[in-house]
Structure 1
Amino acid sequence: MSLDEKNNVSQQRDERGTQADDHRYAQVLKRHGRVDLIPMPSDTPADPLNWPSWRKNVLLLIVAFHAMQGPLGAAIVIPAFEDFVQDLGVSIAEASYSVSIEILFMGVAPLFWAPISKRIGRRPVYLLSALLSAAFALGGAYTNSWGALITTRIFQSIFISPALSVGASTVDDMFFSYQRGQKMGIWTLLVTCGPIMGPLISGYLVQYRGWRASLILLAAIHLGLFIAHFFLGPETLFLNRVPPGEPYDEDEVAKRSGWRPFLSLHVYSKQPYRASEFFRPFAMFARPAVLLPTLAYTMAFSYTNVLMTIFVPQLFGEAFHLTPGQVSLQFIALLVGALLGEVVAGKGSDAFVNWRARKNASALGTSDGEDPTQPVWRPEDRLMLAPPGFILALVGLIVWGVQLQDATVGKWNITPDIGSAIAVFGQQLVTTVCVTYAIESYRSETADVSVFISLTRQTYAFIAPFYLSVAYTNMGDAKASGLFAALIGLGMLMVLACSVWGPSWRERSQKAD
């Protein structure tokens, strides 16, 4: 057992205490029915870890839905490319920039939102995000020039982006380690579903009402999101957590009681902004336990979700002569794959990790004389579920490409959709496992890790379409799909490396810090 693992086990046991019946843990046991919790909540009901499950889950759904709006807002105009050509005098290639430019800015903007949320909390950032993104989406619907439309799209993407990174911190604020796979999976699931849902809900709308209607719908969704945050989204940032049994700040409880937290703004830190804060996420490039799973997830996401979102309208339209509305229905297969994937990824990974934690405790107790009844969580245990996800993703992508290439022109068949469903099923398993592992590896730096993941994913997704189209044009659907499936396989090797060397990498970075 490595020194890092021994220190981690010792820290876990120090946090929860060695005696479950210790009077200091009476409130914890009463509220949660167990004391083997990481992190350990304080006794105050103001602590988000102590909130009722219904309140946590409602806010989780709101934040996850908010995160979905970034990629959904970018992709909602995909069925409108032909309308842009006719109304605004641009080429099809230029029309695609209305999507790619949003993807890029959604990756960069969280660098600024994360430090702001540490000063004023998550709630004000979410409220500002939803309200201003609604305003710019509505403004875009009434523009009459390509330049004005692109400008509103840029600002709309900047303001909708916070939940793509700060959302992980919100999940971490409210839930314990044994729940994190399932809860983080809900957040990542809706991010996955964003590019799928955009064209799905706007296909027939654009076909019968025009491209402006899609942006009006987007503005209405974001305004509804603002209302949901305002009435149902309390602040989750909690900086004054004390160990169980110790007195807590009564003023903090009063500030978080009733309607007061919904109607007031609380400044959590007056520390001046420093340039290093905005660049801290780049330090994750030097941490393989974050960098490698992030790259692996990013490649799986780009070569399944992003690739299919872009090429379903183009390839299906050419192969089967479908209308925009009919093309939008093909995204149902991707949605089904993502939903089924998360059923396995969230609860499945938590169940497996919790089982491994009990096995770890038993083995450790036997070898070190420790208490074998207290679970011991190790981040690498979660990665054991990643390889099946990678394999399904690359197999599904190959099926998708081969069946499209062999399809009879003008005669629709379901086999490419089956391939896409398998690919996104695997990709969602990869997403939940890799993102949760990266965050669990450095929990004290959740905000920086999540910003790094978002920046890497969005930048890669922005670049990918520029060479994806070249590959599919020059190589054909089958060979190009095989090439990108091989890159997904490369991502699997990165995750396997983390399974072997992850503990030593974390130990080395902790010593360096």
Structure 2
Amino acid sequence: MTEKEEKFNRMVPGTIHLVDLDGTMNVRHEDGDDIVLVPQPTEDPEDPLNWSVWRKRVLGGCLMIAVFSANILSTALSAVLLDIVKDTGISLGDLNTGVGIQYLFFGWSCLLWQPLALTYGRRPVILFAGLACMLCTVWSAYVKSSGEWYVNRLLVGFFYGPMETVVELCISDVFFAHQRGKWIAWYCWTLFNIPFISGIVAGFISSRYGWQWIQFIASIISSGCLLILFFCLEETMYYRDPALELDGTESVADIKESETSSNKKQNIDISVDNVQSTENSNDTPVYKKKTYLEKLKVWGAKSPKQSNLFWQSIWVPFYLLRFPSIIFAGFTVGAVLSWFNIVNATISTVLSAPPYNFGANMIGVFFVCPAIGISFGSFFSGKIVDNFTVRMARNGKGYREPEFRLWLSVLPMVIHPFGCFLYGIGAAHGIHWVGLAFGLGAICATFPIGSAIAINYIIDCYKEVSGDGLVTMILIRNSMGFGFSYAVTPWLLAVGTQNLYISIGCIGAFIWGLSFLMIVFGKKFRAVTASTYWSLVDTHGFKAH
């Protein structure tokens, strides 16, 4: 690679030197491998990037518990909407509209939660929002009118918000670039699978005890999850001095020059922040590990050197709409949520009607099919894609491009329309329910693939502002999801199940096809907007997470 090409790769956000093919980079590598650790960790044992494998797995498990808890609180009623109609008199259209409002606030509430998490810490935001969401879920068992349902869903959606972006932020805090895909896949598996798996149980609970007990039992389980999170979920926010931050694309000489320039400009001392750190006479940082009680704190995570990102993180998500990569990610994951909402809104209507005539408990059992499909999609979007990107980096002279992950879109571009046509046309013509199961499983297999692609793509492209970029993505996603939730009932009544699913099959194929447009032009888009991006990063100091 020529010197000119190397300078170009350093300039383009998202392009990183992931594999040290020649063994000449004086940076930290993965043990026994030529993979460069991106981002480069400090020497501090409390730096989340330096945590032990076991400690990282505990953190990952806690994040999945948080998502599980929030999902059973907010989505377990999907299988029993018709039971709620009979008991309360609220129309199915109003119930679906309420669900749409809930999903809208899943996204828009992140304009508050994400700035709080970026400024004051991830742990207090997740714990507080989880508790509030649980209390709102208890109230939902007592709603009797459309107005109450709307307000309740709004609040549930508002307090669910941290599960949409803060969890991904924690994953990017702790895991390196070549490891994130696996944990994002686990996140997507939990995010999409729990609503369906809980629906299996919810159908039987509703048939025996009434739909209200779904919410009561979910709240009891959630309270146990909150206790686990309080004692086991660690804070992952960690301040890295910009002078010491290394992304694996620079040489040691570059870093020293950058440190000298930064010190002269800002008149600061090179040091690494820690909860408790001192310096010896040689200016070498001395670190101290946190005690267990210190890890339980829900305050004090913000470093004195850390910029206050709260107000910036409210407007920056809108500013990021000028970057094509973020818009693409938003539309991709927005389409996924739209299909998810359509499936949830129509599955009871389709299966309770002739010739199937399924009751609430059997509709719940049918939710096994999408759960299997989601597991299939999660498998392909995790470790397999991580390994694929590393292999592509080896073939690309050691450099990894975020677009490498987009090749996974080949799979959903085929199975999404196939599943939609099989399920929609099959339901309209009364084929055996096994055919519907295969169709629904194929549709749902694309949910974790689309979400993993979008989340990883934003983190890979713009890691300095990934927290705000995820909010931008979620705002696009949940606005699209709300629109489809609001329209699905009249759309279904107007055109029928067959034409509805033919339409979303064709729309989905088009949106998946956009991935290949980004494979061709994605790096060019990032190069064209590079000066705007780096100006934003330098002006506002987006270096703290």
TM-score by length of 1: 0.87
What is residue 501 of structure 1 aligned with on the other side?
521
What is residue 373 of structure 2 aligned with on the other side?
337
Shift in Å at residue 298 of structure 1?
A: 1.9
What is residue 397 of structure 1 aligned with on the other side?
420
Matched, 1:268 2:288: no
Structure 1: distance between partners of 2:22 and 2:124: 40
Give a deviation string over 1:187-231, Cα, whole Å, max 9, x none: 122222244234233111112111211111221232222112111
Aligned pairs for 1:259-298 (under 5 A) are 259-263=293-297, 265-268=299-302, 275-298=311-334
What is residue 407 of structure 1 aligned with on the other side?
430
Structure 1: distance between partners of 2:520 and 2:200: 41
Matched, 1:356 2:392: yes
More deviation in 149-158 or 238-247? 238-247
Report SS of the residue matched to 1:90.
Answer: coil
User: For residues 35 and 209 of structure 1, do their structure 2 counterparts lie closer, same or farther at Cα, with a shift above 3 Å needed?
Assistant: same
More deviation in 166-175 or 71-80? 71-80
Shift in Å at residue 144 of structure 1?
A: 5.5
Matched, 1:377 2:391: no
Give a deviation string over 1:99-158, Cα, whole Å, max 9, x none: 222112111101110111122100111111111211222233345655445434322321
Give a deviation string over 1:440-480, Cα, whole Å, max 9, x none: 11111111111122222222111103333333333332222
Letter in 2 for 1:44: D
Letter in 2 for 1:460: M
User: Is the 2:119–2:310 contact (alpha carbons within 8 Å) kept by the matching residues of 1?
Assistant: no
Report SS of the residue matched to 2:302.
Answer: coil
Shift in Å at residue 384 of structure 1?
A: 1.3
User: For residues 457 and 11 of structure 1, do their structure 2 counterparts lie closer, same or farther at Cα, with a shift above 3 Å needed?
Assistant: closer
What is residue 240 of structure 1 aligned with on the other side?
240
Matched, 1:318 2:353: yes
Report SS of the residue matched to 1:77.
Answer: helix
Report SS of the residue matched to 1:237.
Answer: coil
Structure 1: distance between partners of 2:153 and 2:100: 10
Letter in 1 for 2:466: T
Report SS of the residue matched to 2:41.
Answer: coil
User: For residues 11 and 459 of structure 1, do their structure 2 counterparts lie closer, same or farther at Cα, with a shift above 3 Å needed?
Assistant: closer
Structure 2: distance between partners of 1:194 and 1:456: 23
User: Is the 2:141–2:215 contact (alpha carbons within 8 Å) kept by the matching residues of 1?
Assistant: yes
Between Structure 1 and Structure 2, how many residues are aligned? 492
User: For residues 451 and 221 of structure 1, do their structure 2 counterparts lie closer, same or farther at Cα, with a shift above 3 Å needed?
Assistant: farther
User: Is the 2:95–2:149 contact (alpha carbons within 8 Å) kept by the matching residues of 1?
Assistant: no
Letter in 2 for 1:284: L
Matched, 1:445 2:468: no
User: For residues 405 and 45 of structure 1, do their structure 2 counterparts lie closer, same or farther at Cα, with a shift above 3 Å needed?
Assistant: same
Shift in Å at residue 293 of structure 1?
A: 2.9
Letter in 2 for 1:97: T
User: For residues 18 and 45 of structure 1, do their structure 2 counterparts lie closer, same or farther at Cα, with a shift above 3 Å needed?
Assistant: farther
Structure 2: distance between partners of 1:381 and 1:330: 35
Structure 2: distance between partners of 1:14 and 1:94: 50
Shift in Å at residue 34 of structure 1?
A: 5.6
Aligned pairs for 1:226-237 (under 5 A) are 226-237=226-237
Gaps of 5+ in 2: 247-251, 253-269, 278-286, 536-545
Matched, 1:386 2:409: yes
Higher relative contact order (CA 8 A, sep 6+): 2
Structure 2: distance between partners of 1:147 and 1:108: 20
User: Is the 1:77–1:99 contact (alpha carbons within 8 Å) kept by the matching residues of 2?
Assistant: no
TM-score by length of 2: 0.82
What is residue 249 of structure 2 aligned with on the other side?
none
What is residue 259 of structure 2 aligned with on the other side?
none
Structure 2: distance between partners of 1:277 and 1:122: 14
User: For residues 359 and 215 of structure 1, do their structure 2 counterparts lie closer, same or farther at Cα, with a shift above 3 Å needed?
Assistant: same
What is residue 11 of structure 2 aligned with on the other side?
7
Structure 2: distance between partners of 1:10 and 1:464: 32
Give a deviation string over 1:223-269, Cα, whole Å, max 9, x none: 22211211111110111364599974461554733331213521416
What is residue 368 of structure 1 aligned with on the other side?
none
Structure 1: distance between partners of 2:161 and 2:155: 10
What is residue 540 of structure 2 aligned with on the other side?
none
Letter in 2 for 1:472: L
User: Is the 1:397–1:481 contact (alpha carbons within 8 Å) kept by the matching residues of 2?
Assistant: yes
Structure 2: distance between partners of 1:297 and 1:394: 16
Structure 2: distance between partners of 1:11 and 1:295: 22
User: Is the 1:133–1:222 contact (alpha carbons within 8 Å) kept by the matching residues of 2?
Assistant: no
Give a deviation string over 1:272-295, Cα, whole Å, max 9, x none: 676553122122321111111321
Structure 2: distance between partners of 1:280 and 1:53: 34
User: Is the 2:62–2:229 contact (alpha carbons within 8 Å) kept by the matching residues of 1?
Assistant: yes
User: Is the 1:386–1:434 contact (alpha carbons within 8 Å) kept by the matching residues of 2?
Assistant: no
User: For residues 432 and 167 of structure 1, do their structure 2 counterparts lie closer, same or farther at Cα, with a shift above 3 Å needed?
Assistant: same
Structure 2: distance between partners of 1:15 and 1:359: 10
Letter in 2 for 1:213: W
User: Is the 1:105–1:154 contact (alpha carbons within 8 Å) kept by the matching residues of 2?
Assistant: yes
What is residue 193 of structure 1 aligned with on the other side?
193
Gaps of 5+ in 1: 362-374
Report SS of the residue matched to 1:263.
Answer: coil
Structure 1: distance between partners of 2:14 and 2:498: 52
What is residue 342 of structure 2 aligned with on the other side?
307
Structure 1: distance between partners of 2:14 and 2:146: 60
Shift in Å at residue 329 of structure 1?
A: 1.2
Structure 1: distance between partners of 2:499 and 2:143: 41
2:447 pairs with one of 421, 424, 427? 427
User: Is the 2:329–2:473 contact (alpha carbons within 8 Å) kept by the matching residues of 1?
Assistant: no
Structure 2: distance between partners of 1:401 and 1:331: 16
User: For residues 163 and 254 of structure 1, do their structure 2 counterparts lie closer, same or farther at Cα, with a shift above 3 Å needed?
Assistant: farther
